[in-house]
Amino acid sequence: MDIETLHNTELKEFSYFKIGGKVENLYFPKNTEEFIYLLKNIKNPLIFGGFSNILFSSNGVNQDVICTTKFDKYRIQNTLVTAEAGVRGAVLSRACIDYELAGFEFMSGFPGTIGGNIYMNASAHKQAVSDNLLKVKIFDTETKEIIELSKDKLNFEYRKSILQEMPYILLEAEFELKKGTKTEIQNRIKENREFRKLHQPQGIPNVGSIFKNPENNSAGKLLDEIGAKEFKVGGAKVFENHANFIINYNNATSTDVLELMFMMYNKVKEQFGIELKPEVKYFGEQTEKEREICKILFQK
């Protein structure tokens, strides 16, 4: 099977953080057949969409990687929207404007794919990807079978889904959106984009929010109150306009980012007694220092 593959490539070329060492094999399946072939024949691969919300080790990744961004077909019929795992949320958001379908406005500025968005139950501006979801088609990596799951079987919570707990890989999702007007939908998208421009880094390597919001609280507010906007380690520093973002401003390494995250975590814990949980995921070969930090930051 002729599947597009890159060998011995630098993951920083694909990472939104622009951080990451080499991976031996990086695969880009274009359809369900190719994707399932890889899932059946590669031992323990790492699977990503748009590489957003991900920190790769500067020492590389000792596993094969599958990227779904070319597995990206979608169809819209009346109010039903079906999308493969690799469709970018922003692409689907724009496509729905012409069909006057509302519900995906929040994804207009997202770099992530539908698979990643459902995996983490992505949300913003009082909308979530789970709001309009009907069902998903997944591949069970243990039974090697394709199964369908309705929304109520996905155990959605804040930044959580069953995909994080079970050996399930999302193949396709079906949504039912609500009718709106082009003007209303475009206005909401414009408002969301303007908000992001004011509060989030633009054109600077970053992976979005670093920590999840604690229950009934805001990670950004807590980090702001401890003065995190002044924090920096090596080539990584906290974004001056929002304390829950880290930017790679000067060739940062994965160790720089992890040490900075650990500093943020410790200061919040010390001042408020709250242990922040990372939203960003870390993958790759760890140094001894990284291993010690990860044991605390990414504890279950």
Token pair in block for residue 39: 């899932």
Could you tell me which of 16, 24, 51, 21 has the C-alpha nearest to residue 253?
21
Helix (H, G, I), strand (E, B) or coil at 117: helix
Q: Is 88 noted as a catalytic residue in this protein?
A: no
Q: Which of 52, 57, 209, 254 is catalytic?
A: 209
Catalytic residue among 123, 130, 159, 218: 159
Take residue 98 and report the two structure tokens written for it. 């012409």
Torsion angle in degrees (nearest 10) through CA of 66, 68, 69, 71: 130
284 in Cβ contact with 254 (< 8 Å)? yes
Q: Active site residue: 100, 176, 225, 279, which one?
A: 279
How far apart, in whole angstroms, are the C-alpha atoms of residue 104 and residue 79?
A: 12
Read off φ and ψ for residue 85, nearest 5 degrees. -60, -30
- Number of H helices and E strands in the chain, helices first, is 7, 18
> Which three-class secondary structure state does DSSP give residue 27?
strand
Cβ pair 92, 114 in contact under 8 A: yes
Per DSSP, what are the bridge partners of residue 282? 55
108 is catalytic: no
Looking at residue 189, the DSSP 8-state letter turns out to be H
C-alpha 82/C-alpha 106 separation (Å) is 18
The rounded distance, in Å, linking the Cα atoms of 36 and 14 is 23
Q: Are the C-beta atoms of residues 217 and 275 closer than 8 Å to each other?
A: no
In 3D space, the residue among 33, 169, 41, 56 whose CA is nearest the CA of residue 114 turns out to be: 169
- Any catalytic annotation for residue 191? no
Residues classed as catalytic: 159, 209, 279
